[in-house]
Structures are given as structure tokens and as C-alpha cells.
Structure 1
Amino acid sequence: MNGFEKRASLIKEKIKKTTLDMLRTSDPKRIRIADIAKRADVSQVTIYNYFGSKEALLQDVFKSFVDGAVRDFENYMAEKRTLKERIEYILFREKEAYRDFPPRLIKEMLIEDHELTRYIEELYKEKTIPLTVQMIQEGKDSGEISQDVSIESVLAMIRLYLSQYETILEMAEQSGDMDRFIKGMVHLFFYGVCGKS
């Protein structure tokens, strides 16, 4: 990468980081290119030259965020971890993701952008599901998951948790001790109400 390409890459990343920071506090519809440019200390023309439109910029920011989360998950899965540690990682990572992209914002972005929806669905099918199935199979092989429980059942349980994650996180925030609340949810996931500690 030559000096020009390096500078261009740094400017693009600065614009994307600024946009992500703004998405944490603002509705995407209210964010204007002029606001992003001002906060990133670049011209509006620079943003249009690199991204083409506000919609393309938002899409790029969200894709980068999701790609990074999947990469982190792949790296974490490559390390020797127990199933419980991996499930905790998924739930705690969701907590962090919730801060950057609340479920309301994700739904809004996916409803309005069919290309982004397709991208997320492909990523889910090609990367997330195979990694999760691998995790479950390794849990079965190590005896952490009962042989009586099917992979489909564990996937269904994970989906149930994640589909209600917005509600779970709201309850966790209201509890006053978010980490303790989520640890309790992990315990319930593995052992139920009366299971072993």
C-alpha cells in the first residue's frame, strides 16, 4: 500500500468510526452527511467520493461491524475453550454489540436495505451457523452437552435467547448489575432453575 492509499484508508476508517459513534446516539434518518463531515473533520465531497451516499456509508459501517464480530467469534472459537465459556462469550459479545447497534436500529436498517439483509443472511448461513454447529458438536463430543439433546434443540435454545436479547438486556440494565444478571442467564441456559452450580 503506497502513501496515498494508506492516507485514503485512514480517512475512510475515520469517517466510518465517526458514523458508528453517531449511530450510538442518533437515528440514522437524522444523521446528515454534513454532520458526519463536520465531526470527522473532512469535507462532504470526501465522504461522497469514498462512499457515494449516506446509505452506502451506513451499509459499509454496519457490514464492517458485523464482519469484525464474526472474525472475533472465529478467533475465539479457534482457542481451546469450554462450551460454557463460548456461550458466555456469545452472550457478553451481544451485550457489547447492543451498545453499538441496538436491536431497534438493526431492524430499522435491515427493513430499509434489502442488500444488507441478504448480506447478513448469507453471513449467518455461511459462517455463524457452521461455527455454532461446530461448537455444539464439540460440546457433545466432550460430554458438556448430553447425547440426548440434538444439535437442532441447542440451536433452537440459542435462537430463543437471542430473539429476546433486547428484553433480556433491558432487564439486565434495570437489575443494577448487568454482568451478574447475564451470568445468571448463562446458568439458566446450562442448568435450568434447579440444576447444578
Structure 2
Amino acid sequence: MNGFERRAQQIKNRIKETALKMLASCSPKQIRIADIAGEAGVSQVTIYNYFGSKEALIREVFRDYVQSTVDEFESVVRANVSLKEKIEYIVLQKKNNTHTLHPSVLAELVQEDPEIQELVRKNYEERSLPLMAELVGKAKANGEISEGISVETVILYLNMLYDSSARMLESTQNSEDLDKLVEEMVHVFFYGICGPKSQN
């Protein structure tokens, strides 16, 4: 990559980072190219030259977001750590992602754009689902999940945990409360609300 290409890529990345930051708190419909250009310190023409339209820019930002999220999940699934640590990551990832793209923004993007719908479907079927199956398979092999529980049931439970954790974690402000809540959610995942059976 020569100097011109490197500068062009830096500008493009700055535009995408600006759009992603705006999507953390604004509906895509509320964001204007002029707003992105002003925040990124570029002209509107530059944005159109690189991306063609606001919709194309948002699609590329969303594609990068999904890719990085799944890449991070893959690294956790394949890490040499316990299932408990992996579940803690899944819970906390939802909180971290909420600060990047708000759930209402994610829902709007998926509902309104068929290309984004297809991107989400393809990523889930081709990457996320196999990774979750791999996570469960490894945990079963290590004796961390009962052999009597199917992979499908564990994945369903993980999805429920992931989807509901955002609402609880969003209202948690200080780190001590957050640590306690995550610890309790992981405990419920493994033992239910009654806790482990006492060892007599």
C-alpha cells in the first residue's frame, strides 16, 4: 500500500468510525451525511466518493461491526479457558456491544434493510451457530455440561441469556454492582436459582 492508498484508507476508516459512533445513540434515519462529514472533518463529496450513499456507508459499518464481533467470539470459543469464563464473556459482550450499537438501532437496521438482514442470517448460520456448537461440544468433552443436555438446548439457553442480559446490564452503573450481577447470572446459568446440590 503506497502513501496515497494509506491516507485514503485512514480517511475511510475515520468516516466509518464516526458513523459507528453516531449509531450508538441515533437512529440511522436521523443521521445525515452532512453530520458525518462535519464530525469526521471531511467533505460530503469525499463520503459519496468512498461509499456512494449513506445507506452503503451504514451497511459497510454494520458489516465491519458484525465481523469484529464474531471474530472476537471465535477467539473466546477457542481460548484455553473454562466454560465459566466464556459465559462471563458472553454476558459482558452484550453490555459492551450495547455501548457500540443500541439494540433499537440494531433492530431498525435489520428490519429496514434486506441486505443487512441477509448479512445477519448468513453470519449466524455460517459462523455464529457453528461456533456455539463448538463451544458446547468442548464443554461437554471437558465435563462442564451434562451429557444428557442437547447442544440445541444449551444454544437456546445461551441465546436467551445473551438477549436478556442487555436490559439488566444497561441499568448497572458502578463496577462493583456489575461484577456482582455478572457473577450471579453465570451462577444461575450453571446451577439455576437454587444453587448447586450440597455435597454431603
Counterpart residue number, 2:191: 191
User: Shift of residue 26 of structure 1?
Assistant: 2.1
Deviation per residue, 1:147-186 (Å, 9 max, x gap):
1111111011112223323433345459982332122111
Q: Label 1:98 to 1:78 Cα distance change in 2 as closer, same or farther (>3 A).
A: same
SS at match of 1:167: helix
Counterpart residue number, 1:34: 34
* Separation (CA, whole Å) in 1 of partners of 2:32 and 2:70: 29
SS at match of 1:84: helix
* Percent identity over paired residues: 44
Q: Is the 8 A contact 1:172 1:178 kept in 2?
A: yes
The reply on whether 1:143 has 2:147 as its aligned counterpart is no
* Separation (CA, whole Å) in 1 of partners of 2:165 and 2:100: 14
SS at match of 1:42: coil
Count of aligned residue pairs for this structure pair: 197
SS at match of 1:132: helix
* Greater alpha carbon shift after TM alignment, 130-139 vs 25-34: 25-34
* Separation (CA, whole Å) in 2 of partners of 1:31 and 1:174: 31
Correspondences of 1:25-174 after superposition (within 5 Å): 25-170=25-170, 172=172
The reply on whether 1:10 has 2:28 as its aligned counterpart is no
Name the amino acid aligned to 1:129. Answer: L
Deviation per residue, 1:133-156 (Å, 9 max, x gap):
011011111000011111111011
* Separation (CA, whole Å) in 2 of partners of 1:31 and 1:171: 26
SS at match of 1:149: coil
SS at match of 2:87: helix
After TM superposition, which residue ranges in structure 1, 4 or more long, deviate above 3 angstroms? 170-176
SS at match of 2:115: helix
SS at match of 1:177: helix
Q: Is the 8 A contact 2:18 2:39 kept in 1?
A: yes
Q: Label 1:171 to 1:186 Cα distance change in 2 as closer, same or farther (>3 A).
A: farther
Q: Is the 8 A contact 2:83 2:139 kept in 1?
A: yes
Name the amino acid aligned to 2:99. Answer: R
Name the amino acid aligned to 1:179. Answer: D
* Separation (CA, whole Å) in 1 of partners of 2:106 and 2:94: 13
Q: Is the 8 A contact 1:172 1:182 kept in 2?
A: no
Name the amino acid aligned to 1:86. Answer: K
| TM score, norm. by length of structure 1 | 0.93
* Separation (CA, whole Å) in 2 of partners of 1:179 and 1:61: 31
The reply on whether 1:24 has 2:24 as its aligned counterpart is yes
Gap runs ≥5 in structure 2: none
The higher relative CO (CA closer than 8 Å, separation ≥ 6) is in 2
| TM score, norm. by length of structure 2 | 0.92
Q: Is the 8 A contact 2:77 2:134 kept in 1?
A: no
Q: Is the 8 A contact 1:110 1:117 kept in 2?
A: yes
User: Shift of residue 117 of structure 1?
Assistant: 0.8
* Greater alpha carbon shift after TM alignment, 151-160 vs 170-179: 170-179
